[in-house]
Structure formats: C-alpha cells, structure tokens
Chains A and B, each alone.
Chain A
Amino acid sequence: MILVIDAINRQFHSKLLEDMFRLRARVFADRLGWDVHVERGMEIDEFDALDPVYLIGLDETDTVVSCVRLLQTTGPHMLSDVFSDILQGQAPLRAPTLWESTRFCVDTERLGLTDRGPGSVARATSELMSATLDYARRCGITDIITVIDPVMNRVLKRSDNAPYDYVGNTVQMGKTKAMAALLDCTPERIERVRAFAGIDYDVLVDEPALLQRIAQSAGMPVDPSDALAQYFIDQFDKAQDADELEATLALADAVLGKAKPVQSVPVANSVSAPEV
C-alpha cells in the first residue's frame, strides 16, 4: 500500500521517512554506485530540504519497500541542478503542470522476484507507479519527467508503462547509466499500469489506521495538536539543508520512537545484484 507524505503529515511519519532514506542509501549508493551522500546509513540530499512530496510503499507489516520523490520543475530540481549532463547543456523543461520524479526505488532484497502477485517486486513497482501518476493527476499535473537507469527503463516498458519519449541523452552515472523519460498522467496510462499488475483495489493506505498502528507500537497517543508534534513541525520548517533535516529526523525518531522495542533490526548490508 502507498502512503503520500507531504508538508501536512510528515511530522507523523519521521520513522518511515528515515527508513525511506535508508532504503535509498542501499539502492543508490550500495547497489547502483551513484555518487550520493550517505550519512548514518541514510541518503539525503539538498532537494529533500525543499518540501518535496514522497510516495512510500509499505508491505503488510508497515515496512518501507519502495519510494519516490516529486518536485516542481519550475523550482530547483535534479535535472536543472544536478543531472544537467543528461540535457547536454540544454535548458531544462520547466512547466507548472510538469513534475520531476526522482529516487524511484524498490527493495529487491525484501520482495519476491519470481511472480507478479502481492509481495513481489513487480507488484510493488506497479503500485508505486500507478499511485504516483494518479496522485500527480489529482494535483493538476499532466506529465512527469523521471530520471531513471536503464534497468528501471526496462521495468517501465515491461509493465505496460513505457515512457512516451525521452529528453537529452543517456549518460554514465556510477556503476550504471541515467536518462530522463516522460510519462503522461492520463487515466488511460494509470489504468494500463493497474490492469497489467492486476491491481483492482485502492492502493492508498488508510492513513488514520496506519497512525493508530504506529501509535500502538510506540505506546504513544496520536494527537495532532500535541505540543511535541508541533515542535517537530517547527523544526522541519526551520531545516535549511540536508544536514539539519537529518538531525531533525534523528531527534524525532529518538523521541517519538523511544517506547518502541528494539525489534527494528537494521538491515544488513548484504547487497545482491538486481534481478529485474
């Protein structure tokens, strides 16, 4: 199931955000060898301090298994500021109805690779893709430009979600290559992705129920007007860069997650090559 995290609800999900940054570190630093900054096992960059939207995939135990990040293209984003090699010196596309999706990844160690059913990489990928397209569409966004590697490009094509075009060139990045692909957020494409993966249910997680489960496992009540929650809202607000954001997350996790038993064993660095 997919959870959308934006400025309005992020203070309730600091633990999930941390786990997402850990997943990104395992995928983009360890597996793909991209030149990304990892600290305390988390991959966080300057764009994470710009209030992006995240979509996070959770398995039946509420564990983070996939994620993606969305940024407006009218503002600073990765193609304009980091991946400019891809554009070969050309000006980036900028439009209010075009969002950039980056850091799309799926936990291939945790999920099954063989079939397309629930709990598989294929299902998690399709859930996240269809949710992203649908969420963007409901925000008035008509197209998404996404920075992906050739493996992801094949995954898109194979799941009936082939990009309608590409911008710029494919360039070497770490152990792999990176490219910029265009996807339309039309109901037709969303339906194709869902039909291919056999998704006939609402992929969005029931957030109030999720918050209840999180509160129960942490032994703390959920109260939006809670002074502590307000404190973290303020801290997220004031975070100016990746370091400050990281510190806030660490603190939120230490404080809000302290009642939690030490069952969240850090995932070992057993990195296997992707089979997809």
Chain B
Amino acid sequence: MSLYDLAAMPDPGKSLLDLLKDTCDRLELEYAAYAGVNPIDNSMHAIVNYPDAWKDHYQRHALHQSDPTLIHSQRSQAPVHWDRLTDDPLYDKMFSRAHDFGIPDTGITIPVRGAFGDKGMLSVTRKMCIGGWHKHLLHILPRLQTEAALIHDAVMQKGAVMRAISAPSLSVREIEILQWSAAGKTQYDIADILSISARTVEVHMRSARHKLGALTTAQAVARAVGMGMIYPM
C-alpha cells in the first residue's frame, strides 16, 4: 500500500480554528466546539471558537468533566439535540453558567465515528428561538454532518501514525467516477456513461470526497490527481 500525505497536498493550509470559523460562516452558526480522542496515541483534542472569557472559565473549572453535551454525546452515533438533555441535573448547572457568558443552549452535538475507533464530536450553537433553531437545523444538518466529519479527520490527521494508516482506500467505482469528473463530465453524463443512476454517482462521489478529505468535487479530483489515483486530462 502506498503512503499518502494529505497535509502535503496542495491546500490553503488552514488552521483548525479557521475550519471551525468557516463552518460557522457557511452554516450560519454562532459557535462551534470540537472534541475528539485519537485511540492510536490516546491523545485528546479540543478546539473551540467560544469567547475567551468562557474558554478560560471552562478550563479553570475543568467543566469538560461535567459537560452534559460531551458526556451524553460520546456514547451516541446519532446527533444529540441539547433539549433532550434537560433532565440531567448537570444541564442547568452548565447552561446557567454558560448563559452568563452569552453562550446559548440552543445547540446540537454531532458525533463522528472513524474507521479506527477514533471518536469526535462537533457541537454547534446559535442564539435563536427553539422553533427557528430546529427549522434551521433541518436545513443545514446534511452539510453539518459532512463538515463535522471533515473537521474530525483534519484533527486526527495531525497525528503521524494516524496519517500513515489512514491512506484513502477508494473502490474501483469511486476512482472511475473521479476520472470521468476529471474529464469534465457532469454527474448526469457519468450516470449515462456507466449506466447507473445519477443518485448512485452522487453517493459514490460523496464517499470519495469524504475519503479524500475534500469538501468539493473539484478538490477531490485535484487530490486524486496529486496522489496518482487518476490521470490529469
């Protein structure tokens, strides 16, 4: 198996904090917080764009030990709406304090499971009425799922061991579809060429983008060319 270095691929070289900010901007969110565990080197990672005052308070009081959004979400594969946690006595304790720092409790945590037992969670919030929040979520959740996985992978790829073992493994179908994209074909063209549905092309394309750590198809094609998986055309 060949070794691929995603970090060495042409990339604007964004910091993780920039990734969080971009996610907030794109999905019209106020704050985002990522927490994850890399099982290979057992390292913990946390990165947030909360105001400094809340970050300091959180750290000083070791609130991660009693943060209900973390405690409950790390044993879930499904997204955890914070309003389902209100029965937990820790909830009021956490959010009455958070409130003083301007952190709203209209939030959701997206758990991400990786192929190597790695786990991460992306929590996002925005001050809104609860009805409006749920409506907004329904609208952004597919993209939020995608961005949560992207951020998780970006954090995990910081470890050298993880980077070495998580070389993207694409199927023949995924490579074929990327190759036709590189040749300038649209999703519908490719569906016709391969005699499959456009939705099937899309589902393989989404998988390929995820494996290559790409948010867009153009980025995925560029990376696949860079790694020698497909030919430039």
* A and B co-occur in one complex: yes
Task: Write the chain A residue with the least CB distance to B110.
Answer: A140
**Among the listed stretches A14-22, A30-38, A58-66, A74-82, which one makes contact with chain B, having 4 or more residues with CB under 8 Å of it?**
A74-82
Q: Are B204 and A164 in contact (CB under 8 A)?
A: no
Question: Complex formed: what's the CA distance from A194 to B149 in Å?
Answer: 32
CB-contacts of B113-128 with A (<8 A) = 113-115, 117
How many residues from A make CB contacts under 8 Å with B? 39
Q: Are B80 and A97 in contact (CB under 8 A)?
A: no
Also in contact, A97 and B146, with CB within 8 A (given A51-B76, A76-B117, A184-B199): yes
Q: Are B87 and A224 in contact (CB under 8 A)?
A: yes
**Among the listed stretches A88-96, A122-130, A146-154, A196-204, which one makes contact with chain B, having 4 or more residues with CB under 8 Å of it?**
A88-96
Question: Complex formed: what's the CA distance from A144 to B110 in Å?
Answer: 18
CB-contacts of A235-262 with B (<8 A) = 236-237
In the assembled complex, A205 has its CB within 8 A of some CB on chain B: no
Contacts of A93 in B (CB 8 A): 171, 203-204, 207
Also in contact, A72 and B142, with CB within 8 A (given A96-B210, A225-B87): no
CB-contacts of A78-109 with B (<8 A) = 80, 87, 90-98
The interface centre, meaning the residue of A53, A80, A98, A139 with most chain B CB atoms within 10 A of its CB, is A139
Contacts of A97 in B (CB 8 A): 142, 145-146, 206
Contacts of B84 in A (CB 8 A): 8
CB-contacts of B78-104 with A (<8 A) = 78-80, 84-85, 87-89
In the assembled complex, B141 has its CB within 8 A of some CB on chain A: yes
Also in contact, A165 and B210, with CB within 8 A (given A8-B85, A75-B115, A224-B87): no
Q: Are B148 and A182 in contact (CB under 8 A)?
A: no
The interface centre, meaning the residue of B110, B143, B203 with most chain A CB atoms within 10 A of its CB, is B203
Main secondary structure of the interface of A (DSSP, over half): loop
In the assembled complex, B170 has its CB within 8 A of some CB on chain A: yes
Q: Are B210 and A74 in contact (CB under 8 A)?
A: yes
CB-contacts of B45-90 with A (<8 A) = 72-73, 75-80, 84-85, 87-89
Also in contact, A142 and B142, with CB within 8 A (given A8-B72, A50-B77, A96-B210): yes
In the assembled complex, B129 has its CB within 8 A of some CB on chain A: no
Contacts of B73 in A (CB 8 A): 7
In the assembled complex, A52 has its CB within 8 A of some CB on chain B: yes
Question: Complex formed: what's the CA distance from A138 to B141 in Å?
Answer: 8
Question: Complex formed: what's the CA distance from A87 to B196 in Å?
Answer: 17
Question: Complex formed: what's the CA distance from A52 to B146 in Å?
Answer: 19
Q: Are B77 and A94 in contact (CB under 8 A)?
A: no
Question: Complex formed: what's the CA distance from A93 to B174 in Å?
Answer: 9
Shortest beta-carbon distance from B38 to chain A in Å: 14
Q: Are A8 and B80 in contact (CB under 8 A)?
A: yes
In the assembled complex, A141 has its CB within 8 A of some CB on chain B: yes
Question: Complex formed: what's the CA distance from A7 to B72 in Å?
Answer: 7
Q: Are B72 and A95 in contact (CB under 8 A)?
A: no
Shortest beta-carbon distance from B15 to chain A in Å: 22
Q: Are B148 and A70 in contact (CB under 8 A)?
A: no
Task: Write the chain B residue with the least CB distance to A10.
Answer: B75
CB-contacts of B168-222 with A (<8 A) = 169-174, 196-197, 199-200, 203-204, 206-207, 209-211
Using A97-B146, A164-B197 as known contacts, list a sample of 7 further A-B pairs with CB atoms less than 8 Å apart, ordered by residue number in A.
A7-B77, A70-B78, A80-B115, A140-B141, A164-B199, A182-B203, A236-B75
Binding site for A on B (CB under 8 A): 72-73, 75-80, 84-85, 87-89, 110, 112-115, 117, 138, 140-146, 148-149, 169-174, 196-197, 199-200, 203-204, 206-207, 209-211
21 A-B pairs with C-beta separation under 8 A: A6-B77, A6-B78, A7-B77, A52-B77, A70-B77, A73-B207, A75-B77, A76-B117, A80-B115, A87-B171, A92-B171, A93-B207, A94-B210, A94-B211, A95-B146, A96-B112, A96-B145, A97-B142, A140-B144, A165-B197, A237-B75
Binding site for B on A (CB under 8 A): 6-8, 50-53, 70-76, 80, 87, 90-98, 138-143, 164-165, 182, 184, 224-225, 236-237
